[in-house]
Chain A
Amino acid sequence: MSRPAGHSWRAILLVAPALLWTLAFFVLPFAVMVVLSLWERVGSQLVPSWTLANYAKLLERGHFLAALVNSLEVTALVTALSILLAYPFAWILAEQVPKRWQRLALLLAVLPFWTSYVIRSYSWLLVLAKNGIVNQALLASGLIAQPLALANSRTATVIGFVHFFVMLLTLTIYANLVQLPANYRRAAADLGAGALRTFWHVILPLTLPGVMVGAFLTFVLCIGDYITPQILGGNNELLLPQVIMLQIGRRADFPTASALSIVLMLVVTAAYLAAARWLKLERA
């Protein structure tokens, strides 16, 4: 492709606004955060002490470490559950729903995406409340004698998250499934494979990269989320974003909040590298 020569200064002008914006409002704040994480707050004063003390707090203070562990546990559980629920659903949409209804079926499956994000968690609070619809149904059916404490627990947080990510993963896995050429399945059948073996040896490996991309997205969005655990999780245990927000809100301890945020980012980066490595190995 021939490119107009001598125009590159103009091209730089085209890209410059976006680059400058990203530098000024993303890179610079992040750099400030890194610097601040090495400072300390003494009284109400910020002291440039250049220390890793804020990072050491993660190991020293039990509740910081507990929050990190809680976050990892909840995120792992949510990612696994969402994939296990979404995969068969996407499969049914792609395989069993007649072609002309598929678009509508998919559209319906992600409709609650359009509720506001804060409201989505609130809605689960309504459903899981002590006098909510689930408890009332269980009581009426005689399965339980006392209402269950469903809301304000890790279970509620996980349910709230899984609800959102099942929709997201259904979309990504469905997109993967419908792209598979029908020939592969026919070839497997011609070679004598049953439905189960075809799925296990042909379909699943082919859709795994797409599942991994969805899983990574789930992991990143889930581990960084503050609202869902804050509304649904109750006070018994906190996740890392909640602890970060506590440092900002009640104590205005920005150095500690920065250090914890950077730890959060490192966890996400590690997950990204693992996913990227896995995908590369898979393709090789």
Chain B
Amino acid sequence: MSGAARHAFGALYAVLIYGFIFLPVIVLVLFSFQDGRLPVPPFQGFTARWYQAVLTDRQLTEALINSALVALASSALAVLLGFLAAYGLARHQLPAAAGQRLLLMAPLTVSYLIIGLGLLIVWNALGWPKSLLAVGIGHVVINLPLCFAILYSQMGEHQAGLERAARDLGASEIQVLLKITAPVLWPALFASFFLAMTFSWDEFIIAFLLTRFEVTLPVEIWSLLRSGLDPKTNAVGSLVFLVSIGLAVLLELVLLRRR
């Protein structure tokens, strides 16, 4: 095949794959403006009334706030625990360090369904009520290995030198952590916090198993699906998409500005 033909073929292939990747998103967003009861062709004209319906829906807005709270709190805790553990294991000689690392990473290899089921069984056995707190605890379990792995990989020799210098100048361990390690590592801290946020924000199965009355957004969207195809569901999906992209752009800007 000549170079030009190969290029043309490559371009065609790329267009097809982009089409496949974007088809559901375009259909989702387009028919969120559908001026009719069904989000399928033909497109009957633009209306914003489904968005209005979403924003005035108490259950949806409450679920959105719940999701944001769970995501913020569980991510902050996962980053904190992961940071302390990464610092401890990277900077100090500890007994069975490899075993400790393995244990901290273990939840990564297990399906969310199994983690959620395990927690549900324990919650039932203890007679604790299902709650957002339980979901938050589960989300720390799934995000801690991630935060730990990212932060552990970033604990380089360069920072170790700075930390030693600070210690030699009389800084306490806590001062070293707060004034040297954390500021130097802040892009990694921010990235792991952000990653944990997106995972928690979008997590379904643990939230589904561990909540009853107060639910998170994915669980609320799930119960919307029972009414079948509905432009209102399109509108919720489009809004979530918009918010997520906004956050992603923010991440790019914050992290790239440092380079």
Contact = CB atoms under 8 A, between A and B. Distances in A.
Top 3 closest A-B pairs, CB basis?
A224-B111, A29-B118, A14-B88
Contact of B144 (A18, A29, A265): A18
Interface in B141-158: 141, 144, 148, 157
Contact of A166 (B20, B28, B88): B20
Given A18-B104, A96-B11, A11 B94 contact: yes
21 contacts: A8-B93, A8-B94, A13-B88, A17-B85, A18-B144, A23-B103, A25-B119, A26-B107, A26-B141, A92-B13, A116-B244, A118-B204, A126-B40, A131-B40, A131-B41, A167-B21, A223-B111, A226-B204, A261-B114, A265-B111, A272-B109
Contacts of B205: 226-227
B237 A109 contact: no
A125 B94 CA distance: 52
Nearest to B28: A123
B109 A30 contact: no
Contacts of B137: 25
Contacts of B115: 26, 29
B225 interface: yes
Given A1-B160, A115-B244, A224 B113 contact: yes
Interface of B: 7, 10-11, 13-14, 17-18, 20-25, 27-28, 31, 38-41, 81-82, 84-85, 87-89, 91-94, 100, 103-104, 106-107, 109-115, 117-122, 124-125, 137-138, 140-141, 144, 148, 157, 160, 164, 167, 173, 202, 204-205, 209, 217-218, 221-222, 225, 229, 233-234, 236-237, 240-241, 244-245, 248
A176 interface: no
Interface in A28-60: 28-30, 32-33, 36
B111 A264 contact: yes
Contacts, number: 241
Contacts of A127: 23-24, 27
**Most A-side CB within 10 Å, residue of B24, B115, B209, B233:** B24
Contact of B118 (A2, A26, A116): A26
Nearest to A252: B124
Contacts of B225: 118, 122, 231
B119 A268 contact: no
Given A32-B122, A116-B240, A126-B40, A166 B17 contact: yes
A4 B167 contact: yes
Contact of B41 (A93, A120, A136, A245): A136
Given A116-B221, A126-B28, A261 B82 contact: no
A22 B107 contact: yes
Contact of B91 (A11, A224, A261): A11
A234 interface: no
Interface string A207-223: 00000000000001001
Contacts of B241: 114-116, 119
A180 B212 CA distance: 51
A229 interface: no
Given A3-B91, A92-B10, A129-B229, A29 B119 contact: yes
Nearest to B3: A195
Contact of A257 (B14, B117, B141): B117
Contacts of B10: 92, 95-96
A254 interface: yes
A88 B222 CA distance: 35
Interface string A76-105: 000000000100110011011100000000
A66 B103 CA distance: 34
B245 A18 contact: no
Contact of A12 (B94, B103, B244): B94
B58 to A, nearest CB: 20
A interface bracket (residues with beta carbon within 8 Å of B)? 35 or more
A220 B21 contact: no
A268 B17 contact: no
Given A11-B88, A22-B141, A119 B27 contact: no
A123 B25 contact: yes
Given A119-B236, A226-B113, A268-B111, A25 B84 contact: no
A133 interface: yes
A254 B124 CA distance: 10
Contacts of A115: 24-25, 28, 237, 240-241, 244
A246 to B, nearest CB: 12
B182 to A, nearest CB: 13
Contacts of B21: 109, 111-112, 163, 166-167
A52 B41 CA distance: 53
A270 interface: no
A261 B116 CA distance: 11
B41 A119 contact: no
Contacts of A22: 103-104, 106-107, 141, 144
Nearest to A36: B121
B121 to A, nearest CB: 6
